[in-house]
Amino acid sequence: MVGEFKPGLEGVPAALSSISYVDGREGILEYRGIRIEELAKYSTFLETAYLLIWGVLPTQEELAAFEHEIRYHRRIKYRIRDMMKCFPESGHPMDALQASAAALGLFYSRRDLQNPEYIRGAVVRLLAKIPTMVAAFQLIRKGNDPVSPRDDLDYSANFLYMLSEKEPDPLAARVFDICLTLHAEHTINASTFSAMVTASTLTDPYAVIASAVGTLGGPLHGGANEEVITMLEEIGSVENVPAYLEKCLQTKSKIMGFGHRVYKVKDPRATILQQLAEQLFEKFGRDEYYDIAIALEKAVEAELGHKGIHPNVDFYSGLVYRKLGIPTDLFTPIFAISRVAGWLAHWKEQLAENRIYRPTQIYTGQRNAPYIEIDKRTAADTEALIAAGAAS
């Protein structure tokens, strides 16, 4: 029996999951039952990743062992670096990341999905190597050799170091680590669903992550954080905010960093990110775009707040990354570095009770259409087929 068609599968439950919980009306996000505000305050990204993937907070010994394994696996094979050197410098870093993540499957091709040690090895490798690959492409496209990870630096400080070749300020590293925690998981969004569909075929975890990276890149999903900065650049000054908003409303174009399929109030992550941005501005100087962002948030609230359109996670994350000196087109790869934790948690959950995803469709095309030989086809035939929906 075919059920009711819901465009974008809105509101259709596609899985049972105990990984994260969102209450879009109250603005609540929990990972394994723990509020995001608590995790942002007290946890670290790697501890949160462990929580998401194994379902419980690690003991001190478990966390130390996990961090140690990740430190040990941060390096990438020289052949992966050489492969990345062949990528065009003008290519988007998300495409470079997707290709590199998929390439890991060539090097670690044994697939043993029933074996907990294999699962742990893949989790560790992906969490460890994805940041190194993002940083490597950044240096390679500038014409430099990638730098090796530094074993004396923790996960986030090491990533910022690999990106800039400078040891980061401790506040910058801590703020960045909180950003990773905030983006680590968010129920079944498009990229997570993509990971789950790929996982359900029992393919290897590198293909799972590569498919999720490809999905995250779109401007309606992870790519929105880059678009927010482009939009703030385009607005240019606080005085231009009303005219910009008016134009968006008239042309019915989306204001980037606003709106969410689930949240109908301000995204709790946006609130935390705004506070982090302010901490950075206090120490390193205010960002000129922050005033535009605040004015835009106020104006959008007034015009669209009643429709449940409020800032989402992407609205303030770009301002934080900009203050950390990160190039705009790395914002989405950084989202991916973090979301790998959530994707892996869903991969593991999917494997525990797998059934291949195979939804149905409602066919709207022609039936029993004639095959017209090529020399007898006319433009009118093609138009008739298009009108009948067969060529759409």
Q: Residues in the site for ligand CMC, rule: CB under 6 A?
A: 8, 189, 220-222, 224, 254-261, 304, 307, 309, 312-314
For ligand CMC, give the closer residue by CB, 66 or 316.
316
Annotate the chain with three-state secondary structure: CCCCCCHHHCCCCCCCCCCEEEECCCCEEEECCEEHHHHHHHCCHHHHHHHHHHCCCCCHHHHHHHHHHHHHCCCCCHHHHHHHHCCCCCCCHHHHHHHHHHHHHHHCCCCCCCCHHHHHHHHHHHHHHHHHHHHHHHHHHCCCCCCCCCCCCCHHHHHHHHHHCCCCCHHHHHHHHHHHHHHCCCCCCHHHHHHHHHHCCCCCHHHHHHHHHHHHCCCCCCCHHHHHHHHHHHHCCHHHHHHHHHHHHHHCCCCCCECCCCCCCCCHHHHHHHHHHHHHHHHHCCCHHHHHHHHHHHHHHHHHHHHCCCECHHHHHHHHHHHCCCCHHHHHHHHHHHHHHHHHHHHHHHHHCCCCCCCCCCCCCCCCCCCCCHHHCCHHHHHHHHHCCCCC
Q: CB of 341: closest distance to ligand CMC in angstroms? A: 15
For ligand CMC, give the closer residue by CB, 44 or 191.
191
Q: CB of 313: closest distance to ligand CMC in angstroms? A: 5
Q: CB of 80: closest distance to ligand CMC in angstroms? A: 27
Q: CB of 159: closest distance to ligand CMC in angstroms? A: 20
Active site residue 177: no
- Which residue's C-beta sits nearest to ligand CMC? 259
For ligand CMC, give the closer residue by CB, 205 or 311.
311
Active site residue 314: yes
Dihedral sign (CA 211, 213, 216, 218): negative
For ligand CMC, give the closer residue by CB, 34 or 190.
190
- Paired strand residues for 22: 29
Q: Which of 204, 310, 314, 346 does the annotation list as catalytic?
A: 314
For ligand CMC, give the closer residue by CB, 255 or 272.
255
Q: CB of 312: closest distance to ligand CMC in angstroms? A: 4
Q: CB of 337: closest distance to ligand CMC in angstroms? A: 14
Q: Which of 260, 267, 310, 346 does the annotation list as catalytic?
A: 260
For ligand CMC, give the closer residue by CB, 3 or 11.
11
List active site positions: 260, 314
